[in-house]
Every structure is written in C-alpha cells, then in structure tokens.
Amino acid sequence: MVKFSIYLTNYRSKKEKVVNLIGTYECKADAKGRLMLPVAFKKQLSSILQEGFVLKRSVFQPCLELYPMEEWNLLMQKMNKLNRFKKKNNDFIRRFTAGVKVVEIDTTGRLLIPKDLVSFAGITKELVLSSAVNIIEIWDKTQYEKAIDDAAVDFADLAEEVMGFDDEADGIS
C-alpha cells in the first residue's frame, strides 16, 4: 500500500490535496442508516468535505469504503485506462463499481448509508470507522473485531511480506 500512496502523492497536481487519514473510531448508526462522522475525521477532511464522497463495497472484506471525491477520481483515472475490449476488464469494472453511491456529509455532520450497502456490510447499530491511508472503512463493530482478531494470527508474517523488502531503495524501517 505504501507504493500506491507514493504514486498518488506524486501523481497529484499542485492544487490537489493529499489525504492521509489517521484513526479508528466507534460510533452508532440510527434506524435510517445515518452516522455522525467523528470530529477527528471531520477535521482531517475539512478542506474537502464540500466536494462529497463515494461509498462502495469493499473488494476483500464485508465492509464499506468511503472515498473522498478527489481520491475516487484518481482511482477512476486508472480504471479508465483499462482496455474495455477485454471481457475480464469489463467484468472487473462492473463488479468493482457495483453498489457505488455518491454521498455527502450533511450540515450536522451526518452521513447516510444507503440500505443496500447497510445490508452488504451487515451493519447494525454499532459501527467502527477506520482509516485506511486515503479512505475510511466503515464496519459493523462485530465484523471489525472478528477481522482484526483473524488477522492478528499472521500479521507478523504479512508485515514482513508486504513491508520487509530489502532490495528497494524506498524501504521503510
């Protein structure tokens, strides 16, 4: 993921804002699927709140991903380069964008999660919002705790495999 973040940072024009989110917060959803965005995230996103967001299903986990519009547009620029005359590319684009919704934070700081996405993520009342570099993952609290517990067993091996490269000049120590 670090290489992707570096790519995004280098790819941006001077006027584009770099989004590197920090934090994991618990919150509650109301009966209509609205949640109050934690104050810490609102502060981190304050310069781009008015631009809107894209909410989508995660590819690998039973959670949702909230993309600031600028981050979504960068991702779509990459997707737009795929050759649409290859069936697998079309299939990927269709599945990747299934259920995608444009959402906004209202004047009181609430975000409405559409019912189909609430259902996909198994969201009940208790939620966890977790930063994932340039996006926010939205989890049902029980699902999040299970995913963290499941990943804890092999996290050291995963960290070594993903971040432990020796031959790269931009390695992290």
Q: Across residues 145-165, what is the average pLDDT?
A: 82
Q: What is the pLDDT of residue 152?
A: 72
99: left (phi over 0), alpha (psi -120 to 50) or beta: left
β-pair partners for 111: 35, 105
Q: Across residues 105-121, what is the average pLDDT?
A: 93
- Whole-model pTM above 0.75? yes
For the packed helices 155-163 and 141-152, what is the interaxial angle rounded to 10 degrees? Answer: 80
Give pairs for 41-44: CB < 8 Å, separation 24+.
41/129, 41/131, 41/136, 42/105, 42/109, 44/19
- Model confidence pLDDT, tens digit, residues 47-85: 898 899 999 999 999 999 999 999 999 999 999 999 999
What amino acid occupies position 88?
A: K
Cβ–Cβ under 8 Å, residues 65 and 71: no
